[in-house]
Structure 1
Amino acid sequence: MKDTSMTFTSLRAAALLAAACLAGAPAFAQDGPPPPGLDRGPGGPGPHFLRGVDLSEAQQDRLFAIMHEAAPKRREIDKARRKAHEALREAAASASFDDAKAAAAAQALGQAVAADELLRVRTEAQAMALLTPQQREAQRKDRAPRGPRD
Structure 2
Amino acid sequence: MVEFIKADLTCMPQIKNESVDLIVCHATIRAINNRPLKAVKALSEFYRVLKKGGWLIIDDESPLPKLRRLRRKCKLSVGKPTSLWLSSSMANITQRYALKKLEFAAKIVGFKDIELQKFEGGWPSEEDMSEWREKMREMINRIDDEDLKAAFPKSG
TM-score (norm 1): 0.22
Rg larger for = 1
Identify the structure with the greater helix proportion: 1
For CA contacts below 8 A with separation 6 or more, give which structure has more relative contact order: 1
TM-score (norm 2): 0.21
Identify the structure with the greater strand proportion: 2
